[in-house]
Each structure stands twice: as C-alpha cells, then as structure tokens.
Structure 1
Amino acid sequence: MTDTTTELGGRRVCVTGLGVSGPPVARALLERGARVTVVEGRDDEANRERARQLRDLGATVELGEVGLPEGTELVVTSPGWRPDAPVLAAAADAGIEVIGDVELAWRLRPADQVWLAVTGTNGKTTTVRMLEAMLRADGRRALAVGNVGTPVIEAVLATGEERYDVLAVELSSFQLHWSSTLRPHAAAILNIAPDHLDWHGGMEAYAAAKARIYGPGTVRVVNAADPLIRTLAETHGDPAAPLVGFGTGVPRAGELGLVEDLLVDRAFVPDPRTGAVELATLADVVPAAPHNVANALAAAALARSAGAAPEAVRAGLHAFRPEPHRIAHVATVDGVDYVDDSKATNAHAAAASLAAYPSVVWVAGGLLKGADVTDLVRDAAGRLRGVVLLGADREQLREALEKYAPHVPVVDVARTDEGAMAEVVAAAARLAQKGDTVLLAPAAASMDMFPNYSERGNAFAREVRALASS
C-alpha cells in the first residue's frame, strides 16, 4: 500500500461537499485517523441525513454558509467545486494544499494496482466500460470507476476478494484539475470540444486540465484525428513515454485503427513497422457508429498497453453492453428506426451521433448553456430529413437551420408539460420516411424540461413504444 496513514493520523482535513465523492472520502480519512470536518453549502434533508451518518463516525459536519475550518491542514474537495469557492480560495491564500478525491485515492492505492485512465468531452463512460470488459475477459480483477459509478476511493481501499488489480478510471476535467501527482500506467484523451468553460475560465485551461492525465511515465494514447490532443500529449506528457494513436482510419506504425472491417493493432506488437494483429471486427462493436468504433479502439489501446491478449479485446466487446441513452435503438416503426441518444448533451456529442446515420429526423433542443450550434447544423444539414425542436433554447437552433438548412422542414414544439414528448414523437413520425432514423440527440442539457438526460430519454422511449403499439 502506498499508505499515507502516518501523514493523515491526527491531521485536520476539510472535505468539501456531501455529494457522491464526499462521504466515502470522509470515511476513508476517518479510518486513517484524520480529524475530519465536512463543509456543505446546502442544508437540506438529504444532506442532513448524510451529516448525521458521518457525525456518528466521528466527523464534524457544517451545513449552510461555512468558511475554512480553523486549523485545516489539508483540503479534499469534491470535483465540481470551483477554485473560486470561498473555502477553496481561503485555503489557497493560506498555502494549504487542496486535492481532489482522485488524487487522494491515487495516494492511498495499493502500490501494485494498475490505473488505466480515460478523459474527453464525450465517450468516457462507454470507453471505460468497454475497457473493463476487455480486462475481465483477459482474466484481470478489473473495475470501471470514477464518474462511472463506483467512487474511486472505495475501489482502491477494497480488500480481500474485492481487491482490484486494474482500475479503468473515468476522469472529468474537474477531477484532473485537482490532481497533482497522478501517473496512470496509460491514459487516453478521446476528444476535446468546448465544455465547462465557465468553470475553467476558457478553452486553454480546459484542455490543459485534460492533459494532466498524462503523468510521468504514462503511455500517451491519443485520438489520431485530433491534432490538438497530440499536441497536448507532446507538450504536457512525458516525452520518454510511448505515444500511441487510435482512429477509424488505416493505422500507421504505432497506432490502432481500421483495415476494411477489421480493428487492427500496429502499436503493441513486436515490430510495429512491419507487424499487425487483428483485434476484432466492426460486427463486434455495438453499435458500430464511427465514434463508438473510436471508443472501442481507445479502450483496446489501453487494454493492450497493460498486456491484454488480442482475443480478450474481441471477447470484451462481445460482453459489453452500452449504458442507457447512448445511441440506443428503441424500436423500428413502419420502417423507421427510433434512436435515443439523450446523453448527447452538447454539440460535439450530437455531431458524432448525427454522423452515424445517412438520413435523419433530428430531435434537438433544451438548454444550450451558451454553446454555439452553427457548425453542428451546417455540417449535419446534408443528412437531415426534418427537425423537431423542443426546449428553452430551440430558437438558436432554428436560426442556424434557417441559415444552413433552409430546405429542411422544422416543427417547433413550444409546450413544456408532460405531453410535450408525445407531440415531439408524433411530429417526428410524420416527417420520417421508410429507411430514416428518428434521432434524439438534443445537443443540449435537459433541466429546462426534465430532471436529467435519463428522464428525457425515458420519455422519448415511452412515446416511441406507444407509437409502435398503436
């Protein structure tokens, strides 16, 4: 164990936030003898119950408007807290170290535990789930952790039969911002598009946060189609570490890619200049949309970097089941496919989804959060049969459609009540022709009409199934 028990014993540690990561971090610190104070700005029923449980374990918990606890020696922050939050700003001014839950987990991990890390604007969860399946098919005790479900701190502290040899770690730009000594065995940046720029202060800082995934000695896995990612790997990563590309083109030496319908590795072979090994076929990737094939190749690169056999890649892809609301086929009605990609909450994700289908009735709209959709609409215009708009910011999409796709019929659904999605699906069905795909890929967040993207996708799927049974 890379154990910092002696460093934590008796230390006054402030934990910010009672969300997903806060309570397990507090418990881990308490178990190691730290004197823990948890601060949380929201004083509601759920947080009061979490506070009660932590107080029973010996923590101090402060709810509501709170400052930096007196005598704090270390702050472990929940990833979503901005650096300018008063507690964190006060710690920085006082010279107190601020780290995140991932950084703490890294410091407490078993010394022989392998971390394979993934970040990117889109596709992270799919990739780490694929990677987990490949590693398990190779006989490893592996688990996908981070933003994907299991808090990473719980995974690194698991013992006995629950102890993991390899972690497939999904990392957000927030988590990476608060990580300082992280050095995974291998790491991949899948893609970078504008997102969370208000949190980071701009695109340059956002990209730099993503690049923190490449620690000293980390095998740098990069999207071969994105020069920015290669530049980040070259300027922020270890120049002595291998640089491995992945993409849906024919691979060069040192890359993974496609040769006709084969997923091929020309990186982790004895002689990349002359050798190659088949990993799987396009039929093994479900769904075989281009961006999902790229996810599979990124996962394969990480698995192969850790020594996974070629056959484990194919077996893992067979075992993999996509998360809900990610280009999920709902039903085929009168020759029209209906696909739920409610997780496409930004323009980059929606563009990848639209590129997977030749003729689309596009269901789009919601909260754009200031994002520019003109490039998205311009690039997708040639494959649009029709568009159904919903949500608060649909006017911005309509303006882009009038400019770049004036020939495409658009239906505007203004209502926001429970019956809105029924109207959306009915309108899409009228626009669609046999062979088309009705695609929910909103390019926007859902909170104007739904609690989250899952509920939006569920509403779409319910109405499609009702259409199918009518």
Structure 2
Amino acid sequence: MSELDWQGKRVTVAGLGVSGIPAARVLHGLGAVVTVVNDGADERAQAQAAELEAEGIAVRLGDARGGSAQGCSTLPEGTELVVTAPGWKPDKPIFAAAAEAGVEVWGDVELAWRLRGPDAVPWLAVTGTNGKTTTVRMLASILEAAGLKTAAVGNIGVSLLDAVLGNDPYGDLDVLAVELSSYQLHWAPSLRAHSAAVLNLAPDHLDWHGSMAAYAADKGRVYAGNTVACVYNAADPATEDLVREADVEEGCRAIGFTLGTPGPSQLGVVEGILVDRAFVPNRQKQAQELAEVSDVDPPAPHNIANALAAAALARAYGVEPAAVRDGLRAFRPDAHRIEFVAEVDGVAYVDDSKATNTHATEASLAAYDPIVWIAGGLAKGATFDELVERSAQRLRGVVLIGADRALIREALARHAPEVPVVDLDRTDTGAMPAAVREAAGLARPGDTVLLAPACASMDMFANYNKRGEAFADAVRGLAAERA
C-alpha cells in the first residue's frame, strides 16, 4: 500500500504495548488519523498515552479515563480499519462492532505485510507450540553464515514493522527469519511466506482460541500461499495434516523433518549426522550431510528437531550445506532454555524455566535420565496425567512449588506413586532456594536436577526469566555452601 492510501484514513489501534505503540506511530507518520484504545489505565498506560498524545495521536483508555466501555469496548466513530495487538481476544466487543460495521481487523503482522515495499524481502516463517524462538534464531544464524543479511523478528520481540520499513538497523536485508504466534497468525489473513514451518502442535492458549481445532487452524495459516516449502514435523501428524489442508502456490513442496532416518523429501539423523534428502538432485538415492548432532547446542532431542526445521527452511532458500553446519556451530541458545547452570557434588543442575507448558516440559524431561524434577506454578488450565505417565520412569524425585502444584502432585500419585515428592507449601520467591536444597537431598551423583515447571511463573515471579534467575542463584548458593 502506498503512502497515499493512508492519508486521512481513520484507523483504530487496539492496545498499547510492544506492537500497538509502533503501529500507531507508523500509521500516524503515513498520514492516517489514529486513535489508540486500551483496556486499562494504569500508571504505565497513562504515561504511554501522554507520549502518543504529544505526537498528535488520540488515545482512549479504559477504567480511569472515561470508563472501560468508552475506552475500549466501542468502536470510535468513523473507523475505517482496526489494527489490533495480537493478544486481544477475538470475542472483545470492539471486534464485534467492527464486524457489524464492515470494518477489517488486522494484526501487527498483517500491517507489516501490507506495508512491504515493491522490492520486499522474502519471509521464512516459523510457528508451533514450542521451540519457535530457538528455531528462528538458529535459522538467522545459518542465514548469516551463508553471508546473507537477515534479522530474527516478530514474536521474538523485534518489531516486524521496523524490519519491513528498513528502520535502523534493518536496512537492505536479504531475507527475514520470522517467529509467529497463533495470535499473530489469527489476525494475518494476507500473509504469504516464501517457506514456513509448524514445529509441533499441543494444547495451548485454548482459552483464547476457544478449541484445539481453532488453535491448530490459526497455526496452519502460516502455510497459506507458501511458494517453495511447507516444513512439517514427521513425528507430529497434526502438522502434516495442516500442510495437506494448505492452499499453496504451484510447485510448493512438503518437507518433513525427523529424528530418525529421513525418507525422500525429508531431513533427519543418521548415525549422529544431520542429513538432507529433500534439497538434493536425486532425493530417492542421495543424501547430503549438513552437520553433526554435536554441532547443536544443547544436543537434546527436541533441540535437534529445532535445528532440522531451521536447516530445512534455510535449504529451501538455497543455503549451502556448509552454512548450515557453521550457523549451528555459531548458535548459542537464549537463557533459561535447557541451560546448564552448574555441577554440584556430581549432580547437574539445568534451568528450563521457559518450559511453561506440558509439551515443552515433556521434551525437556526426555533429554535427561535420571531426574529430580522441580515443577509447579500457574497451570493455565493444563492437566498433567499424560506428562507424568510418559516421564515417570525418568524421575528420581520431584519438588513442587507454586499455586497449582496440587494438580501435579495428584497426577504423580496416580501414575508414579513410588516417586518421592516434596510439596513445598509456598508461593513466595524465597521458595526457590528451598526447592533447590530439597532437590539436592533427593539427587545422587550422575542425576540431573531439572527446573522445567510445566506452568507459568506469575504466581511467584514477574516472568519465566526471573524464575530461572532465582533457580540459578540458588544453585550457585548451594555450590558455594558445599565448596
């Protein structure tokens, strides 16, 4: 869309924050008449509103400034387009009002897609329940190793709007590695990626989407209009089903990844080697070595799967095998993702605070044996029977913390009654040092004490980062005591 298309266009931006504020500023700069609406009116929101108002952008806050109905439930008069923050649920009254008025609703991803210039760079997109950020960062590392100018953007916390508009430091990019959440995909009907991957599917955010089917359908939007490759997880048939249902460009291929020996049109693992049987001249008879399992940090099974997905997208873009190897070797995972903290008295302590749901935690538990597991927090409606049943044989013991720990304790009683459980009846931040000491008491040399909570952190900590930091601090304190 040209700048002329925006002159005088009346746009309502739903939500302040990391996506709403940049969207409002970009649209205002293009000449649109922008009104921002927001649910709350806390001190931070009022400060953000004051900044935007000083720039000539109207803001309507809920609660303290006009009441929630006036602030965010009604559609401002004359609105021609709504641009929403991805977290706003589809059942909000403002969206019903937009539908009744025949007004389109876009998310920040849709806005970025529509604002791409005539020489727009291609997008390599990644979604899934778990592993998105790691895979996107691996992909960016591989692309950089190939000599391409790229950026890891989107749900990873970097504004897509800045990237597509070439704002510093994103000028003259060759290709984008884009992380997309189910929320973002829900509001991005026009997105058409060069190639895309769905890493896995497991129940998550069902309170937002309404059902597993709706959640999966929004994830599957990432494949719509793909031109080269739809990458799926051969171990997760639901991801392949989404490929089958996708309306793609003629010639687009389905490319699987597997932790086993790959078949034609797949990437997989053979005797400790990551191999490609998809992007080779004769995929029936040939396989191309890409990297060694030891090149993946850490070489846990689910992280190897992430690496294969990243490699598949890079190969779909034409990256040579050596760049896959070099990119994986250069990659270092973010903090709190199966991060080794220390070894104390022969016991390894590993921080996977990012494992905030059962699917991520099951993958984390599968990487170690035997384990003393530290778990608990806010369950977000999750159940734990399948997780415990599948992981019970790996457990040396369990230490439970957090508001919903009883749900995990009950699942352990049903499916692993022989496993010792320490139930810390605490939800204060000081519970973490106690949890680490209790775990140390259960562990034996050669064991792993694993923080993989299977729950959100907000009952005790500001976020999963703070929870992981508390764990690491407690482990370092234990090491100092026993030195």
Quickly name the TM-score band, shorter chain normalised.
over 0.9
Deviations 1:237-272 (A, max 9, x none): 427421000121111110111011000111111121
RMSD in angstroms over aligned alpha carbons? 1.2
Q: Partner residue of 1:349? A: 360
Count, aligned residues: 468
Contact kept, 8 Å, 2:429 with 2:461, in 1: the verdict is no
TM superposition shift of 1:161? 6.7
Counterpart check, 1:379 vs 2:423: no
TM superposition shift of 1:58? 2.0
The verdict on how the C-alpha distance between 1:239 and 1:307 changes in structure 2, with shifts beyond 3 A counting, is: closer
Counterpart check, 1:86 vs 2:93: yes
State the alpha-carbon separation in 2 of the partners of residues 48 and 409 from structure 1.
50
Counterpart check, 1:229 vs 2:230: no
Q: Partner residue of 2:17? A: 19
TM superposition shift of 1:46? 1.4
TM superposition shift of 1:199? 0.7
Contact kept, 8 Å, 1:91 with 1:98, in 2: the verdict is yes
Q: Partner residue of 2:5? A: 7
Q: Partner residue of 1:388? A: 399
TM superposition shift of 1:149? 1.8
Q: Partner residue of 1:416? A: 427
State the alpha-carbon separation in 2 of the partners of residues 434 and 237 from structure 1.
53
TM superposition shift of 1:52? 2.0
Percent identity between matched residues is: 60
Contact kept, 8 Å, 1:9 with 1:32, in 2: the verdict is yes
State the alpha-carbon separation in 2 of the partners of residues 149 and 371 from structure 1.
26
Q: How does the TM-score come out when normalised to structure 2?
A: 0.95
State the alpha-carbon separation in 1 of the partners of residues 180 and 329 from structure 2.
25
Contact kept, 8 Å, 1:112 with 1:165, in 2: the verdict is no
Unaligned runs of 5+ in 1: none
TM superposition shift of 1:154? 1.1
Q: Partner residue of 1:30? A: 28
Q: Partner residue of 2:375? A: 364
Opposite residue 126 of structure 2, the aligned amino acid is: V
Contact kept, 8 Å, 1:285 with 1:292, in 2: the verdict is yes
The correspondence of residues 86-165 of structure 1 with structure 2, limited to 5 A, is 86-110=93-117, 111-159=119-167, 162-163=170-171, 164-165=173-174
State the alpha-carbon separation in 1 of the partners of residues 154 and 263 from structure 2.
32
Contact kept, 8 Å, 2:7 with 2:30, in 1: the verdict is yes
Opposite residue 171 of structure 1, the aligned amino acid is: L
User: Residue 401 of structure 1: SS of its match in structure 2?
Assistant: helix
Counterpart check, 1:443 vs 2:454: yes
Unaligned runs of 5+ in 2: 63-67
Q: Partner residue of 1:61? A: 59
Opposite residue 113 of structure 1, the aligned amino acid is: V
State the alpha-carbon separation in 2 of the partners of residues 236 and 450 from structure 1.
40
The correspondence of residues 292-311 of structure 1 with structure 2, limited to 5 A, is 292-311=303-322
TM superposition shift of 1:113? 0.4
Opposite residue 76 of structure 2, the aligned amino acid is: P
TM superposition shift of 1:385? 0.4
Q: Partner residue of 1:196? A: 205
Counterpart check, 1:428 vs 2:439: yes
